[in-house]
Structure 1
Amino acid sequence: PILYLTTLSEPLAKVVKYLQRYDFFDENRMAGDIIYDEVGTELAEEGVSALVTKVRDRIKALSPKIIVIDSFKALHDIAPSLAAMRRVVHDLAGLLTAYDTTAFLVGEYAEQQMATHPEFVVADGIVEMVRQESGMRDDRFFRVRKLRGSGYREGLHALQLTSAGVEIYRRLVTPRDPPAYSISRERLSTGVTGLDKMLDGGFWRGSTTLLGGPTGSGKTTIGLQFILDGIRRGEPGVYVHLEENPTQLAYLVRGFGMDPAEPDLHLLYHSPVELQIDSLVDDMFRLIRSNGAKRIVVDAVGDLVTAARDSQRMHDYLYALSQHFAVNGVTAIFTFETARPGLTGGYAIDAPFSHLSDNILLLEVDVEQAESRRKLRVIKTRGSAHDPRVREVEISGDGVQIR
Structure 2
Amino acid sequence: MIHSGIPELDELLRGGYQRGRVYLVQGVSGSGKTLIGQHFLEAGLENDETVVYIHGEESQRDILANSHQVGLEIGDAEFLDIGPGTDFFADDVAYDLVETSEIDAERFTEDIHAVIKETDPSRVLLDPITQLQYVERDEYQYRKRLQSFIRFLKDRDITILVTRTIRSDLNRGGTVQTDIASLSDGIISLHLDEGERRIGIQKHRGIGQRDGTHGLEIRDHGVEVFPQVIPDHSERTFEPQLNSTGHDGLDGLLEGGLEQGSITFVSGPTGIGKSTIGAQLLEGALRSEGNALGYLFEESVDQFRYRADNLGIPVSEYLEQDEFRLKEIEPLVLSAEEFTRIVLQDVAEMDANMVLIDGLSGFKISLQGDKQRLVRRLHALTRELKNKGVSVVITDENQQLTGNHNPTSENTSYLADNILFLSYIELQGELHRTIGVLKKRLGSFDRRFHRFSIVEDEGVVIESPFDDVQGILQGRPTHVTDNE
Aligned twin of 1:17: 65
State the shift of 1:229 in Å: 2.9
Alignment of 1:178-327 (within 5 A): 178-179=233-234, 181-255=236-310, 256-257=313-314, 258-259=316-317, 260-273=319-332, 276-308=335-367, 309-327=369-387
Aligned twin of 1:338: 398
8 Å CA contact 1:160–1:166 kept in 2: the answer is: yes
Kindly provide the CA deviation profile for residues 97-120 of structure 1, in whole angstroms up to 9, marking residues without a partner as x. 221111110121344996553211
Give the letter aligned to residue 378 of structure 2: L
Match for 2:214 among 154, 157, 180? Answer: 157
CA-based RMSD: 2.7
Alignment of 1:129-148 (within 5 A): 129-133=190-194, 138-148=195-205
State the shift of 1:89 in Å: 1.6
State the shift of 1:289 in Å: 2.2
8 Å CA contact 1:85–1:118 kept in 2: the answer is: no
TM-score, normalization by structure 1: 0.87
For 1:166 and 1:271, the matched residues in 2 are separated by 19
User: Given the superposition, is the C-alpha separation of residues 201 and 72 from structure 1 closer, same or farther in structure 2, using an over 3 Å criterion?
Assistant: same
8 Å CA contact 1:214–1:363 kept in 2: the answer is: yes
Q: Larger deviation: 65-74 or 178-187?
A: 178-187
Give the letter aligned to residue 144 of structure 1: I
8 Å CA contact 1:394–1:401 kept in 2: the answer is: yes
For 1:188 and 1:48, the matched residues in 2 are separated by 74
Q: Which sections of structure 2, spanning at least 5 residues, go unmatched?
A: 1-49, 86-99, 464-484
State the shift of 1:148 in Å: 1.1
8 Å CA contact 2:297–2:330 kept in 1: the answer is: yes
User: Given the superposition, is the C-alpha separation of residues 181 and 371 from structure 1 closer, same or farther in structure 2, using an over 3 Å criterion?
Assistant: same
For 1:205 and 1:271, the matched residues in 2 are separated by 29
Match for 1:118 among 179, 183, 187? Answer: 179
Kindly provide the CA deviation profile for residues 277-309 of structure 1, in whole angstroms up to 9, marking residues without a partner as x. 222222212212222222111111223335433
For 2:364 and 2:225, the matched residues in 1 are separated by 21
Give the letter aligned to residue 361 of structure 1: L
Give the letter aligned to residue 65 of structure 2: K
User: Given the superposition, is the C-alpha separation of residues 369 and 278 from structure 1 closer, same or farther in structure 2, using an over 3 Å criterion?
Assistant: farther
% identical equivalent positions: 23
Q: Secondary structure at the match of 1:47?
A: helix
8 Å CA contact 2:294–2:327 kept in 1: the answer is: yes
Kindly provide the CA deviation profile for residues 136-160 of structure 1, in whole angstroms up to 9, marking residues without a partner as x. xx32211211111223222222222
Q: Larger deviation: 392-401 or 67-76?
A: 392-401
For 1:286 and 1:151, the matched residues in 2 are separated by 27
8 Å CA contact 2:101–2:137 kept in 1: the answer is: no
Q: Larger deviation: 155-164 or 112-121?
A: 112-121
Give the letter aligned to residue 453 of structure 2: E
Q: Which sections of structure 1, spanning at least 5 residues, go unmatched?
A: none
Give the letter aligned to residue 121 of structure 1: S
User: Given the superposition, is the C-alpha separation of residues 284 and 164 from structure 1 closer, same or farther in structure 2, using an over 3 Å criterion?
Assistant: same
State the shift of 1:68 in Å: 0.5
State the shift of 1:209 in Å: 0.9
Aligned twin of 2:461: 401
State the shift of 1:275 in Å: 5.6
State the shift of 1:399 in Å: 1.9
Give the letter aligned to residue 349 of structure 1: P
Give the letter aligned to residue 398 of structure 1: E
Alignment of 1:157-176 (within 5 A): 157-173=214-230
8 Å CA contact 2:262–2:386 kept in 1: the answer is: yes
Aligned twin of 1:103: 160
Q: Which has the larger radius of gyration?
A: 2
State the shift of 1:346 in Å: 5.9
For 2:152 and 2:244, the matched residues in 1 are separated by 66
